[in-house]
Amino acid sequence: MNNKQQETQPHQAMQPQPMQQPYEDDEIDLRELFAALWAGKLTIIIATILAAVIAVSYALYLPNIYKAEALLSPVSSDGGGMGGLASKFGGLASLAGVSLGGGGAADKTTLGIEVMQSRQFFAQFSEANDVLVPLMAAKGWNSHDNTLDIDPEVFDSQTNTWVREPKPPRLSQPSVQESHEAFKKLIAVAQDKETGFVTLSVEHFSPYIAKAWVDALVQSINETIREQDVAKAERSISYLQQQIATTQLAELQTGLFELIQSQTETIMLANASPEYLFQTIDPAVVPELKAKPKRALICVLGVMLGGMLGVLIVLVRHFSQKSDDEDVA
């Protein structure tokens, strides 16, 4: 062995060896976990029973909600011979506010759905059908005599007065804005994009009121859209008649007369069609079974949550005690 090798070996031996960190076992001991759960089984059982009792009590406390629904079909509103008028007199018709059927039934269906959920429509519907008390003061339904259970702290049935004490700026009698917000939670309008059919549903404590409101909504939306179209056609006819009186061109007068004829046909068809916008395919019926609450589901979820809460309490208590013992040691 040469001298260079002898010099390097002591130098290598003198280098400090890296210190090995002690291995810490951070894995959860399943046997310890199960032992802790078994030791705290009484806590888990008590928490589960308490949660079950609360869930059952809550499920029984909730009143039944019934849902009535109807299947509607948008009424086809093809313009017949309006296509030729639209190409010839489209500009003049737009000035007069005349619709020549270019939008089709799809646009009217969307309009009808939006109008049905509007605040102005609800205000008219509420006044015509007296929905305020069943909407804002009812808290249940008595099936044996088909009467609503009215909350006496909200509405006094003896004097027919609102007695609730809302927070300002709300008044004792619900406003249109407040009642409309409550009504929107009970009504659902959905259109199938493939078939075009519209489903209208209403939920309420009383199955009879739910069915009556669905029927009234269909009738009201047909009447509203029909009245709007008739009023628009009448205004257009008045404008076109004024233009006929002021123009001397025979060809232009002919076109104006054709536009008046189309608007007159619109008025005639509207007045002759009770189902002007929506045709009822499957009318609403009084539901025999409740739509909600799902009492069995509420009870099952309550038991599960109670058991999970009991397990969590046991584990937190076990590991907290274990951590305290390690700190003392």
Structure confidence by residue, pLDDT tens digits, 287-310:
999 999 999 999 999 999 999 999
CA pair distance 216, 213, nearest whole angstrom: 5
For residue 320, name the pLDDT band (cuts at 50, 70, 90). confident
Task: Provide the pLDDT for residue 87.
Answer: 44
Q: What is the pLDDT of residues 276-287, one digit of tens each?
A: 999 999 999 999
pLDDT recorded at residue 319: 84
Residue 91 has pLDDT above 80, yes or no: no
Determine the pLDDT at residue 153. 94
Kindly state the average pLDDT of the residues 186-213: 95
Among 73-77, 127-131, 184-188, 202-206, where is mean pLDDT lowest? Answer: 73-77
CA pair distance 29, 190, nearest whole angstrom: 54
Residue 93 has pLDDT above 60, yes or no: no
pLDDT at residue 15, rounded to an integer? 52
Is residue 265 within 8 A of residue 230, CB to CB? The reply is: no
What is the torsion angle, in degrees rounded to the nearest 10, for the CA atoms of residue 119, residue 124, residue 126 and residue 129? -150
pLDDT at 96 over 80: no
Band (pLDDT 50/70/90 cuts) for residue 16 is: low
Q: Return the pLDDT at 102.
A: 47
Reported confidence tier of residue 84, pLDDT bands at 50, 70, 90: very low
Label residue 322 by pLDDT band (50, 70, 90).
confident
pLDDT of residue 168: 87
pLDDT tens, 120-152? 999 999 999 999 999 999 999 999 999 999 999
Percent of the chain predicted with pLDDT > 90? 57
Check whether 73 has a pLDDT greater than 70: yes
Mean pLDDT (the chain) is: 84
Q: Tell me the average pLDDT across 106-128.
A: 92
Neighbours of 229 (CB within 10 A): 20
Domain regions of the chain by residue span: 41-62+293-318, 66-282
pLDDT at 296: 93
Q: What is the pLDDT of residue 230?
A: 92
Is residue 103 over pLDDT 90?
A: no
The pLDDT value given to residue 241: 87
Q: Highest-confidence range of 26-30, 106-110, 111-115, 267-271, by mean pLDDT?
A: 111-115
pLDDT of residue 137: 95
Higher pLDDT pick, 56 / 5: 56
Region of poorest pLDDT, from 130-144, 196-210, 215-229, 232-246: 232-246
Q: What is the pLDDT of residue 210?
A: 97
Look at the chain and count its residues.
329
Examine the pLDDT at 17 and tell me if it is beyond 90: no
